């Protein structure tokens, strides 16, 4: 649809009334309240509880949206409201995830980068995303097609042949409404992001929805007079916006009303950041940090890997390499926990699709990611365990394309008790849940594809370090104080190559 439409300023409830039965709603935002249109989601959830409408929505979102405590997409986790959900991550909205696993609606999980790029393709009128990302993983239609339950048809992704090789094709779709967020809107609907810690794909979602004839609804903290915004801070132009919702109590993220070091307006003193306690997680972070070479461009994933930058800051090594996170930050120290997605003291904040373009083309020297399961051939699962679906997030995009991948995690989980100190590790009690298993529940990282690419892969735990070979795992190092047979090999349900095993540096344990 062409032509500039007049901007309407509405309440969150009035904006939620614009969503009709059976429509496709795209929602921008990331976990922990980052760029989350929280007032709009709450209003839509409240409308359904009170009126039973709108029904049968098709929901689309790129990252996990929520706080794991009922916020975000969990406002919409109501029977009858949802017909289908396509998402890059599910872990921040456990109620919605549980409904997906129970088969209450069609549900899909595709790579976060693919999802962000897909909005850009829709905006441009192209048929979808053609990419190598997802080959050999659960997103591949020859594996699970990204489906999270049996009621979901295998129609959302295809294998295609192009230029002499295989690719995955993720088709475009129509958009009727989108909920996005910025910091300030002027009277012409221009949106600036001066207090935000990311830009995500807000521009792409707005352009895609507008160009498909849909309604673009933007939540903002401030409203300004037309012509007063700095054009360099405007991320979404008013020509792509239809409705503005003023939400003065909007928080930057769920843990902070506003931290100017997240949005780059102030550079915080690194000495003010909380220290990292000496435990198994810190040991893993210290050993993983040793894999970085000066000048490397690094990705740090959510979970145990996000502590690597904190350790580097403590040890005065932060200036030796450049961190990145998939939500778009370049440089700085990524935040840990529920607000992963922002960074303290970023050097640049990119649109998320552009960050993934860089990743997909091989821009990362090394990536550090968590793991829930590793199997006999080296496959990794981070997306599904038991009946719980977390989703891939940016894991597939990043793990497939970095020159080196270091998977970080404890050797077992669920009650693991270790003592760290004096230059060694003592195992007091094993965790109840083995993380090295005969076969992973879901293939989020394909070892076969990795070996074929010649990728360098390490698996770092608090007691042992392995690498990936064409024949499976090889044990490289064990912690001081740890017995190779008793504490490592006898706990593995599959054989590993054991020869010339070295001892990890004692300094990691003191």
- φ, ψ of residue 81 in degrees (nearest 5): -75, -35
- Give alpha helix (H) positions in 233-363: 280-289, 308-314, 352-360
Tell me the Ramachandran region of residue 479: left when phi exceeds 0, alpha when psi lies from -120 to 50, beta otherwise: beta
Q: Which residue in the block uniquely carries the two structure tokens 């893993």?
A: 284
Choice among 326, 449, 462, 477 that is catalytic:
326
Quote the DSSP letter at residue 414.
Answer: S
CA distance 68 to 95: 9
> Is the CB of residue 327 less than 8 Å from the CB of residue 63?
yes
| Burial letters 32-46, b for 16+ CB under 10 A, else e | bbbbbbbbbbbbbbe
Return the number of other C-beta atoms located less than 10 Å from residue 3's C-beta: 5
Task: Check if 201 is active-site.
Answer: no
| DSSP H or E run through 122 | helix 112-123
Q: How far lies 393's CA from each of 129, 193, 325, 427, in Å?
A: 17, 23, 12, 32
Residue 195 contacts residue 263 (beta carbons within 8 Å): yes
Round to whole Å and give the CA distance between 407 and 438: 18
- Count of H-run helices and E-run strands, the chain: 10, 35
Two structure tokens written together for 127: 């048929």
C-alpha torsion sign, points 179, 181, 185, 188: negative
SS3 273: coil
Where in the sequence numbering do the catalytic residues fall? 326
């Amino acid at each position: 649809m062409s032509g500039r439409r007049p901007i309407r300023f509405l309440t969150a409830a009035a904006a939620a009334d614009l969503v009709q039965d059976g429509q496709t709603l795209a929602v921008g935002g990331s976990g922990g309240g980052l760029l989350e249109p929280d007032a709009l989601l709450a209003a839509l959830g409240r409308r359904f509880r009170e009126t039973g409408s709108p029904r049968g929505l098709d929901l689309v979102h790129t990252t996990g949206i929520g706080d794991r405590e009922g916020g975000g997409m969990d406002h919409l986790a109501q029977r009858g409201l949802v017909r289908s959900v396509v998402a890059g991550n599910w872990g921040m909205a456990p109620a919605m995830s549980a409904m997906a696993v129970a088969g209450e609606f069609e549900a899909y999980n595709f790579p976060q980068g693919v999802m962000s790029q897909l909005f850009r393709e829709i905006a441009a009128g192209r048929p979808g995303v053609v990419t190598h990302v997802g080959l050999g993983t659960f997103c591949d239609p020859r594996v699970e097609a990204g489906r999270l339950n049996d009621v979901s048809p295998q129609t959302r992704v295809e294998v295609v042949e192009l230029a002499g090789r295989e690719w995955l094709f993720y088709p475009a779709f129509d958009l009727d409404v989108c909920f996005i967020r910025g910091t300030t809107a002027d009277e012409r609907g221009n949106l600036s992001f001066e207090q935000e810690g990311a830009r995500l794909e807000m521009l792409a979602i707005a352009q895609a929805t507008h160009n498909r004839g849909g309604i673009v609804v933007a939540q903002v903290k401030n409203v300004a007079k037309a012509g007063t915004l700095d054009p360099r801070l405007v991320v979404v132009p008013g020509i792509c916006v239809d409705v503005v919702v003023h939400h003065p109590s909007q928080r930057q993220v769920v843990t902070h009303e506003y931290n100017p070091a997240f949005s780059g307006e102030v550079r915080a003193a690194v000495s003010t950041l909380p220290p990292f306690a000496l435990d198994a997680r810190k040991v893993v972070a210290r050993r993983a940090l040793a894999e970085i070479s000066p000048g490397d461009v690094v990705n740090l994933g959510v979970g145990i890997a996000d502590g690597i930058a904190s350790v580097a800051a403590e040890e005065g090594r932060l200036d030796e390499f450049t961190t990145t996170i998939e939500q778009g930050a370049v440089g700085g120290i990524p935040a840990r926990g529920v607000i992963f997605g922002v960074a303290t003291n970023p050097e640049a904040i990119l649109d998320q699709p552009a960050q993934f373009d860089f990743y997909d083309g091989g821009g990362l020297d090394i990536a550090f990611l968590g793991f829930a399961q590793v199997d006999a051939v080296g496959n990794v699962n981070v997306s599904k365990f038991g009946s719980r679906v977390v989703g891939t997030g940016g894991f597939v995009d990043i793990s497939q394309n970095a020159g080196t991948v270091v998977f970080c995690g404890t050797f077992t989980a669920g009650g693991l008790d270790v003592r760290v100190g004096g230059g060694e590790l003592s195992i007091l009690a094993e965790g109840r849940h083995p993380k090295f298993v005969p076969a992973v529940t879901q293939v989020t990282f394909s070892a076969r594809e990795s070996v074929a690419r010649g990728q360098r892969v390490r698996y770092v735990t608090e007691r042992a370090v392995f690498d990936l070979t064409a024949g499976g795992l090889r044990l490289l190092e064990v912690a001081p104080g740890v017995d190779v047979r008793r504490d490592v090999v006898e706990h593995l349900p599959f054989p590993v190559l054991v020869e010339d095993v070295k001892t990890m540096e004692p300094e990691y344990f003191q």
